[in-house]
Amino acid sequence: MSSSNTLENIVKMLSSLLLDDKISTTFIANVFGEVNKLSTLVDQWCNTSSEPFAQDVCSKFNEIANKLIELSMKNAIVRAMNNEISIEQDTLGNILTTLIKILDVLKNIILRSIIVYDNKILCKVKKPFHNKYSIVVPGYTILIPIENAVVLASLDYIDIIDVH
Domain count, the chain: 2
Q: What radius of gyration, in Å, describes the C-alpha atoms of the chain?
A: 22
Same domain? For 123 and 65 the reply is no
Exposed, middle or buried: residue 76 (CB in 10 Å: 0-12, 13-18, 19+)? buried
Same domain? For 130 and 71 the reply is no
Same domain? For 104 and 59 the reply is no
**Can you give the residue range of the structural domain that contains 82?**
3-88
Same domain? For 7 and 84 the reply is yes
Which amino acid, 130? Answer: H
More confident residue, 106 or 8: 106
Same domain? For 98 and 48 the reply is no
Same domain? For 149 and 106 the reply is yes
User: In Å, how far from its chain's centre is CA 105?
Assistant: 15
| 88, 106, 139 - which closes a domain | 88
Same domain? For 145 and 120 the reply is yes
Q: What is the pLDDT of residues 27-45, one digit of tens each?
A: 888 888 888 888 898 889 8
User: In Å, how far from its chain's centre is CA 115?
Assistant: 26
By three-state DSSP, how is residue 37 classified? helix
1: pLDDT confidence band, cut at 50, 70 and 90?
very low
Same domain? For 12 and 81 the reply is yes
The C-alpha atoms of residue 112 and residue 123 are separated, in whole angstroms, by 12
Same domain? For 12 and 48 the reply is yes
**pLDDT score at 30:** 85
% the chain with pLDDT above 70: 96
Same domain? For 15 and 84 the reply is yes
Q: Global pTM? A: 0.74
